[in-house]
Amino acid sequence: SVYKIGIAVVIFFAILSTIFNVIGPKILSKATTELFTGLVAKIQGTGNIRFDVIGKILLILLAIYIFSALMSFVQGYIMAGVSQKMTYRMRSEISEKIHRLPMSYFESKTVGEILSRITNDVDTLGQSLNQSVTQVITSVATMVGVLVMMLSISPLMTLIALVILPVSIALVMLVVKFSQKYFIAQQRTLGEINGQVEETFSGQNIVKAFNKEKDVLAEFDTRNEELYNSAWKSQFLSGLMQPIMTFVGNLGYVAVAIVGSILAVAGTITVGDIQAFIQYVKNFTQPIQQMANVSNLLQSTVAAAERVFEFLEETEEVETENPMIMDHVSGAVSFEHVKFGYNEDKIIIHDFSSQVKPGQMVAIVGPTGAGKTTMVKLLMRFYDVNEGRIKIDGQDIRAFGRSNLREHFGMVLQDTWLFKGSIMENIRYGKLDATDEEVIAAAKAAHAHHFIETLPGGYDFVLNEEATNVSQGQRQLLTIARSILADNPILILDEATSSVDTRTEQRIQKAMNHLMQGRTSFVIAHRLSTIKDADLILVMKDGDIIEQGSHEDLIAQNGFYAELYNSQFEEVG
């Protein structure tokens, strides 16, 4: 409703500005007629040119044009505010929408493609909305006002001038019909290019390591060619509108000048009326030309709006109605006949049941692609089970809101997520109201305090965007410190020691052991030697849990786990 009021005020000021602008030529025609009749009278010796009358008319005209310009300024000021508020609101809605989208959406789209909708498309929408809406309102108001003034001078000449209108509109519509598909293709390809550029820059070391520069360039060139083709065609076609409109407008001038001269000789209209009418014809075709010029802006607006609204209308995560609130969690987790597949027709976990007591350490083991991470995603409700139930403290996790459920989980993953900011800020992210002393205590518990103290500035040392100015092992210790500070009752740990040295690995293992004390923990294990002390080991293969029990039980079974475990100690021949 705020935008409706704003646009209504813009329309009001646009109409006022147009009225005063349109009256101008009619008043100027009186000065022209006065000058013409005065000259004729002077030549005939019957009178003189009345400069005082002409001066008054011109002063009135000046006042009218100043007032019109003032109204136009106010209209532009309000419209700029309205368009930027709409852009601000759209960015806010997109930002909120991101948090409501399911994981499956992000796994099917590139980061650059999503960023393009938030940045390029919203910016295009904001800028072109400001320019094009104002222009359309002014153009329509001018055309209506000019038409009324032309009819007041000569209905016959107006009819001749109007003949050019359908010709102009038909030509514009024809061009728009051809160019719109290229504008849509331009916005789409721009999103794809952004996606590829973002991926290439963030994975530059991988590209170089595998000598893929030529392949990446070839793919970029293909997409760049697509963008070039759609961009030049859309710009060329929209650029045709101006010369077409100018040509049609010039034909109108010629017709009006001929008919006007005949009517002036016959005494039907004055010389000043011809001058005013030619000005009105120009003012009548000018809005059509302006609308032709903004049509490419309007088409960009429509294409960008389609992509923004398509994003805003994406299917969201289904939130629990009247969710239960979970204030305290003991950490008891049970899986009851869980069945799940990322696609309904491709089930990967067929029937899994298990009971986890509070404070137990559960290790999830299995070969790559066995579905270890899928278990974590189900626990966190990134995806919901197809059949069966996962319960926490005897309650189905679907009975809780996702954000409330996730408050009780701490995560330390292989991919350490740190942001640009100080080490203090990064650790405090686990508990935003934590004191400096609490942050330092968490760092000490995570065996991170010593290395932090050696950095320039200590806890005020600023990490860069990728946190590459500290080592991978140090990054891992910082994320463990963050989880210790968060103090969540259930932990999910993706063993992330495969790319660090033995000493750092021991330090991380100590920090993880400290973190797991008194908490229910799910450890995705890569090195089986680290999880011998687990209370429960879940052995996964091809998406299903095929064995479960303690280390001793599973070794005694002499099954798949025993084979996996023993393979670590086989001698390389």
Q: Which residue is it, tokens 């002014």?
A: 138
For residue 383, give the nearest of 415, 348, 355, 341 by alpha carbon: 341
- Of the pLDDT bands very low, low, confident and very high (cuts 50, 70, 90), residue 292 is low
pLDDT of amino acid 175: 78
End-to-end Cα spacing for the chain: 77
Mean of all residue pLDDT scores within the chain: 80
CA distance 386 to 339: 6
Percent of the residues in the chain that have a pLDDT greater than 70, as a whole number: 93
| Residue corresponding to tokens 């305090």 | 449
How far apart are alpha carbons 513 and 445 in whole angstroms? 10
* pTM for the full predicted model: 0.58
The answer on pLDDT for 365 being more than 80 is yes
Nearest partner of 186 among 223, 132, 241, 239, judged by Cα? 223
**CB-based contact 461:492 (threshold 8 Å):** no
Residue 572 confidence (pLDDT): 46
**Which H or E run includes 392?**
strand 387-392
Non-local CB neighbours of 524 within 8 Å, separated by 6+ positions: 364, 372, 373, 376, 492, 493, 494, 495
Residue 376 pLDDT > 60: yes
Which of the residue ranges 129-143, 357-371, 473-487, 553-567 would you say has the lowest mean pLDDT? Answer: 129-143
Q: Are 29 and 276 in contact (CB under 8 A)?
A: yes
DSSP 101-164: S-HHHHHHS-HHHHHHIIIIIHHHHHHHHHHHHHHHHHHHHHHHHHHHHHHHH-HHHHHHHHHH
Residues 2-13 as b/e (b if ≥16 CB within 10 A, e otherwise) read eeeebbeebbeb
Q: What pLDDT score does 573 carry?
A: 42
According to DSSP, residue 212 is labeled -
76-92: pLDDT as tens digits: 888 888 888 888 888 88
How much is the pLDDT for 503? 74
Nearest alpha carbon to residue 354 among 384, 381, 383, 391: 391
Are 338 and 349 a contacting pair, CB within 8 Å?
Answer: yes
